[in-house]
Amino acid sequence: MEVAVAEARPPQEWIGREANVVFQGRKPDRPGRAGGPAFDSNSGKLADVNDLGVTLELADGTMTFIPCTAIRRVTLLR
């Protein structure tokens, strides 16, 4: 299941579940690099969702806030 954050925020029911957040800005082109994803992303446990953005708990326990303006897409992983 996935949601485009520009249109709607992820449902509150997703909190505590694993999610992948894809960022708005495209990766810069690197010489000699072919293929691969065009956008950076980050995965972790969705800790909070509000009108300002989402907070992820990363695998190492780090909490990171990602503002809505930086988010292209949020996908539920499990």
pLDDT, residue 65, reads 95
Please give the CATH number for the structural domain made up of 2-24+40-76. 2.30.30.100
pLDDT, residue 43, reads 94
For the chain, the domains span 2-24+40-76
pLDDT per position as a tens digit, 31-67: 555 555 678 889 999 999 998 999 999 999 999 999 9
Tokens for 2, please give them: 């996935």
Tokens for 22, please give them: 């894809």
Tokens for 75, please give them: 């996908």
pTM of the predicted structure, to 2 decimals:
0.73
Q: For the chain, how far is it from start to end, CA to CA, in angstroms?
A: 9
Can you tell me whether residue 16 is helix, strand or coil? coil
pLDDT, residue 25, reads 76
Tell me which range, 3-17, 23-37, 49-63, is most confidently predicted by mean pLDDT.
49-63
